[in-house]
Every structure is written in structure tokens, then in C-alpha cells.
Amino acid sequence: MKKNEFRFADELGPLKIIHVYEPSINLKAILVVDNVAMGPSIGGLRMAPDVSTEECFRLARAMTLKNAAANLKHGGGKSVLFGDPGMDKSGKENLIRCLAKALRGEEEYIFGPDMGTNEECMAWVRDEIGRSVGLPREVGGIPLDEIGATGWGVSHAVEVASEFCGFKMEGARFVVQGFGAVGKHSARFLSDMGAVMVAASDSKATVYDPDGLNVNKLIEHKNSGQSLSEYNKGKVLKRDEVIGIECEIWIPAARPDVITEKNVDQMKTKLVAAGANIPATPGAEKILFEKGIINIPDFIANAGGVICAAMEYQGATESSVFESIKDKIRRNTKQVLEDSANKNILPRQAAVELATKRVKKAMEFRRFSIFSSAPKFV
Ligand code: NAD
């Protein structure tokens, strides 16, 4: 056996890595079930031409930590499907239905939506094997992007962190990078808390107004299919100028690795609350910490979506989802920021320690720690 065959393995997992290949329809996919000590894993199905086993593993591990931090009865897993998510619909449906069937027996993995897949894709999976979350309302789902589950959680993480940063929400200036599902709803909930949006960006441009932008008007503008570069209020700046806008709260809600060692010094904020996954490189996170800028890690701040999905799976109502997201995210943000301050460690390290402790405790209750239902021997 070659040494690097188990290069991802550590004390938490992964439990399984499965490659699915059906050449007759050009189906190539990977499933990583990382750890199921807390229960069957939940994690998204990502579709993109350039996915890899390593990416799938990293995303699955992130789900193990996110689900454990949120105290869900679920472990972490992820699946990736090679292909162009914009391909013709019948071809995409065929691939996803076939993948679902291939993974029918993998009962410790529950499909969810991710980049390149959506509620409709989850409905196809449900139709094939009955095991998916993030479903359309018509088949019992709670559409998490429509209700703004992740943005709701981000706004509560921010409100808790504002006390650690020493500013009040009323009048606090915020900036949102990426005005999509997470960005728009974060902006809406933060402005309900009295904060003022001074800039927002999308893939084309940044709009900026130091006196405040009208959040509802900007959402209407984006929902009509126009880019922020075509907005007629405030000043239109280059897309990446969003990084240096002065504010109290900076919300990354677009792509990974947008805050790097090269641009982190331009930031003029007191707080970064990650709506996006891994928006800052490890080096940039260290610099933020050294500068005294509080940085709430992604899997703490943006867990609203998966909390909603897990509750949907258990048949919860939409209104109970909001209460639960609020409670869990407020409690975790407070705990992580206190641990970070008391131990003088990065908030991410504090969050990883918190989540890992929960997973290890759950593993102690298992005869075979990696299985969610321990095999029984007599
Ligand atoms: P989305 O596609 O709805 O929105 C993304 C937005 O970012 C779009 O407005 C796009 O124009 C913009 N964008 C793309 N590149 C950009 C760039 N370089 N600079 C500025 N803007 C840019 O996606 P989403 O669902 O809002 O997800 C955003 C991020 O949050 C992703 O990293 C996703 O993995 C993460 N996330 C989403 C959820 C959820 O519930 N949707 C939950 C957890 C994490």
C-alpha cells in the first residue's frame, strides 16, 4: 500500500471515500463520508468541472465541524459531481438521478444542495432514494435561500460579536461582498437591527455610499437581473475596491480566499463575519487576529443553512427554524469569542477545538467510533 493512500486520514475520519463511475453517461463523482459519530452525515452535492477528491474531503470535514458546532445529530459528508452545472437540464437530471441510485445503499449520507445544484436537484434525489434535504416547498422542504436562513444566522453572529468589538448595532456601518442569497439576506437582517449598509459588491462592481444605501432597493435591483454596476445611486467602484471601505462590519458572501496576505492590510473594519466558506486564507486570518479585528469563522457564522436543512429532515416548521438558528449561532459565537479572548488563540482555532471536542465525545459512545449505528456482535 502506498503511503499517501491514506493522506487525508486522521483521528476523525474519513470513514469512506467512494468513487462513482458510469462511462455510458459520463458520470464521474466522489462521495466522502467523513465522520458519523453524531449521526448520519449531511452535506451538499457540488457540481463543477474541476472538483477533486481532496476538495471533497476538505468540504466533508468542514461539514463534520459545522454540524458538530451547531449540535446537530448529524456527521459530515460531501459529494462532488464532475461536469458543467449549466449543462442541458435533461442531461443534468440523468446524471444526478444515476448518482443518487449508485449511492442508494450509503445510508449514512444525506444529500443537500451546494454550488451547481439546487432544490430541484434535491427533489430528483428524493424521488430516487428518499434521502435529501433542501427540497422545494411543494415536497415538504423549507427553501433556505428564499427565507434567508444563512443570512439570519450571520446577522445574529454579528450582533453578538458587536459587544466584543465595542460598537452598537444602531448606526454601525456594514459592507457586503457578494450580493447573492447569503449577502442580500444578511444585509436585510442587519439593516433591521439598525445597521447601515455603506457598500455592496457583486462579480462586476462595488456600489458605495457613505451615507447609506437602501437595502430593499438594491435587492430589487439585483432581483431584476441587473448588475450592481448599473445601479444609479451612490458611487460605482471597481469590484475589488470593496475590501478597503471603512466600516464596522465586513461580510464576505461570495468566493473562497478573497482576503489574503496581499490585501488584508487594506481592510478598515472592526469585524469580519464569514457568510462565505473559507473567505480568508490562514495567513490573512492570523494577520486579522494580530490587528485586533475579530473574525467569526465560517462554520460558526454561516451554519444557518445546514441547521435549517437538518430541521427540515426532522419535519420542523419554518418558524421554529428561525428560533433555533438564532439560539445556536448566538451561543456558539459567544463561546468561540470568549475562548479566543481567554486563551489568546484565533477564533477559528477556538471553534475547531469546540467542534472537535463534541465529535470526540460522541465517538467515545460508539463501539466502533466511526459508525453512527455501531455493528452489533453477540
Ligand atoms: P450566490 O450565487 O447566490 O451569490 C454569490 C454572489 O457573489 C453573486 O451575487 C455573485 O455575483 C457574487 N460574486 C461572485 N464572485 C464575486 C467576487 N469576486 N466579488 C464580489 N462578488 C462576487 O451564492 P450564495 O448562496 O449567496 O453563497 C455565497 C457563499 O456563501 C458561497 O461561498 C457559499 O458556499 C457560502 N454559503 C452559502 C450558504 C447558503 O445558505 N446559500 C450557506 C453557507 C455558506
- Look at ligand 1, atom 4, and give the residue with the nearest C-alpha: 180
Annotation marks residue 2 as catalytic: no
Nearest protein CA to atom 1 of ligand 1, as residue: 180
pLDDT tens per residue across all 378 residues of the chain: 565 667 778 999 999 999 999 999 999 999 999 999 999 999 999 999 999 999 899 899 999 999 999 999 999 999 999 999 999 999 999 999 999 999 999 999 999 999 899 999 999 999 999 999 999 999 999 988 889 999 999 999 999 999 999 999 999 999 999 999 999 999 999 999 999 999 999 999 999 999 999 999 999 999 999 999 999 999 999 999 999 999 999 999 998 889 999 999 999 999 999 999 889 999 999 999 999 999 999 999 999 999 999 999 999 988 899 999 999 999 999 999 999 999 999 999 999 999 999 999 999 888 765 555 544 443
- How far apart are the C-alpha atoms of 172 and 158, rounded to whole Å? 11
Tell how far the Cα of 363 is from the centroid of ligand 1, in angstroms: 34
Distance 275 CA to ligand 1 centre (A): 8
The CB of 144 under 6 Å from ligand 1? The reply is yes
CB of 181 sitting under 6 A from ligand 1: yes
> How confident is the model at residue 3, as a pLDDT?
59
* pTM across the whole model: 0.92
Instruction: Report DSSP letters for 63-131, one per residue.
Output: HHHHHHHTT-S--EEEEEEES-TTS-HHHHHHHHHHHHHHTTT-TTEEEEE-TT--HHHHHHHHHHHS-
The number of the ligand 1 atom at minimal distance from the alpha carbon of 144 is 40
pLDDT at 373: 54
pLDDT score for 376: 45
pLDDT at 248: 98
**Going edge to edge, which strands form the sheet with 271-273?**
235-238, 205-208, 196-201, 173-177, 249-252, 271-273, 294-296
pLDDT digits (tens, 9 = 90+) for 101-138: 999 999 999 999 998 999 999 999 999 999 999 999 99
Q: Which of 78, 203, 258 to mutate to test the pocket of ligand 1 (most atoms within 8 A of CB)?
A: 203
Residues 199-218 pLDDT 10s: 999 999 999 999 999 999 99
Say if residue 90 is exposed, middle or buried (CB neighbours under 10 Å; 0-12, 13-18, 19+).
exposed
Cα angle for residues 74, 48, 103 (degrees, 5° grid): 45
Q: Return the pLDDT at 374.
A: 47
**Cα–chain center distance at 120:** 19
How many C-beta atoms lie closer than 10 Å to residue 335's C-beta? 16
